[in-house]
Amino acid sequence: MEQLTVDRALAAWAVEQYGSMVLRLAFQRLKSQADAEDVGQEVFLALLRERTFQDEDHLKRWLVRVTLHRCEDLRRSAWRRRTVPLEERTAWAAFTQEEQACLEELWSLKPRDRDVIYLHYYEGYTIAEMAELLGENPNTVSARLGRARKKLKLLLEEGMCDG
């Protein structure tokens, strides 16, 4: 098995290939474009400090894990405890108009519930893959995904989403 060795060329490729995914994941977690961009920058700087990955899938999983950890670090920091203007939260070109219309409903879910919804529906991860990625039991991830689906369905059926 050939390993991927991180150099500037691989890092640049990773930014092009996965930059949008990292930003979208950070944005759905933090509700702020500016904070998502900061996290994205930190993630790709951390990538430059890594040495090798088993394959492209390992690199992608690493990017997702590091993005979630950096989001949590920022959320816990004193800097993040400021008010984020609504206009900064509601529109960002990385999301389609339809996706933007439902972000508020998605944001009413707990962050960990949003993570499994995002990873499953936007990134296409299976329950087993998400469990490995998040370091949790597959049954736990499956239950969380089921509860998150039900909550989101109720919110959307109540007509809260204008999309």
pLDDT (tens place) for every residue of the chain, 163 residues total: 567 787 888 889 999 999 999 999 999 898 888 999 999 999 999 998 887 888 888 899 999 999 999 999 988 886 655 555 555 544 556 567 776 667 777 888 898 899 999 899 888 999 999 999 888 999 999 999 999 999 988 887 876 555 4
**Pick from 83, 114, 129: which residue ends a domain?**
83
Structural domain containing residue 24? 1-83
Which of 83, 105, 137 terminates a domain? The answer is: 83
Examine residue 91 and state whether it is found in any structural domain, yes or no: no
Do the domain assignments include residue 103?
A: yes
Under DSSP, is residue 23 helix (H, G, I), strand (E, B) or coil? helix
Q: Are residues 102 and 33 in the same domain?
A: no
For 23, the token pair is: 């930003």
| Distance, CA of 67 to CA of 44 (rounded, Å) | 9
Supply the pLDDT for residue 81: 56
Alpha carbon distances (Å) from 146 to 42, 132, 137? 32, 18, 14
**Domain of residue 68, CATH code:** 1.10.1740.10
Amino acid 146: pLDDT: 96
> What CATH number does residue 123 fall under?
1.10.10.10
Determine the pLDDT at residue 25: 93
Alpha-helical regions (H) of the chain: 8-30, 33-49, 56-76, 86-90, 97-101, 103-107, 111-121, 127-134, 138-157
For the chain, the domain total comes to 2
- Residue 90 is predicted with a pLDDT of 46
Place of tokens 């108009």: 97
Q: Give dist(CA 116, CA 101) in Å, integer.
A: 20
pLDDT confidence of residue 19: 95
Residue where one domain finishes, among candidates 83, 111, 141: 83
73 and 3 share one domain: yes
Residue 35 lies in a domain: yes
